[in-house]
Chains A and B, each alone.
Chain A
């Protein structure tokens, strides 16, 4: 009786073990020999690391863009980049709102109306464990540099949509009012 009970206990434990660990065992055995010890474990999510990266990115942004653009990003959360002037030197009448990790929004500088959304990303997959997204200020700087240096190429690469696809046109209008008021206050303070 004791022997039979032990055999049954063994069968039950073995069955439960097969249910619990079977799939993992099978996939481990199916994996090519060389790859068994080469699993990449992602580092734990570290908000401190992301914060340090963002602080560093802001310092780089500060050192590249104008003081006004940097202050706009710090205080409003976005900045504005003028469209390329015509060959005659005249302004083209449009500019872009640059938000971190959101589409670039083109707007009419005379009316303040949003014109188009350009969905574009700058992803870096060189260290998959850290994700592909640049720190927010780096994303803004990448857009700023590309708009200054390769506007046409950037716009041609982006997926273009009518306003409102990802960024609420109402928010764009409010942001443009905030930007105008902020610039006016800044000019008054400087005078």
Chain B
């Protein structure tokens, strides 16, 4: 099969200014839509609060034990909360044809993915970061490691959104992509979980933790530069 598509016209002259305009227009629209559907906005946050509050009930309110497991529990709850909100990242745009319009507009799909990922993090990731001090107090986490906990979430939750976007792109055309999505992305989240909890535990034990934060930062930069491209490629496959 010999496919020759000559598309001289489409991507010829898209000025820099119009790209950033498109980026912010999309970001603003997604935030406005999230605000209009406030119940969906609150769902991951409430989910997180419920999970965290179940742990002391389930394993007993021993302060030492809770402090020991706090980093892992908070991080696993953050992973779950992110995954349940991930499916909505591209789904509505895929189903109502907006994604087709984005492709035809000639703007790079990578930029569009990045705008959607940023919007997703602001809506689903940032609230987790802001809530984490409260969760840390619930779980009796030592005060000296509270800052590190917040920092790992601030560095880590964008990575979750970025990596997750690739999985969403791949599963979007499936009717029940959500279940497959969790199987796809959880293995990829394992390194982040290990590094982040190791950092918080090191801080609790008074050990140096900056190396772990460095690793997380490296992960953030890597996924920020690569994931939008991968998500765009996945979306292109799902559209055809």
Q: A and B, one complex?
A: no
Q: Which residues of B contact A (CB under 8 A)?
A: none
Q: Which residues of A contact B (CB under 8 A)?
A: none
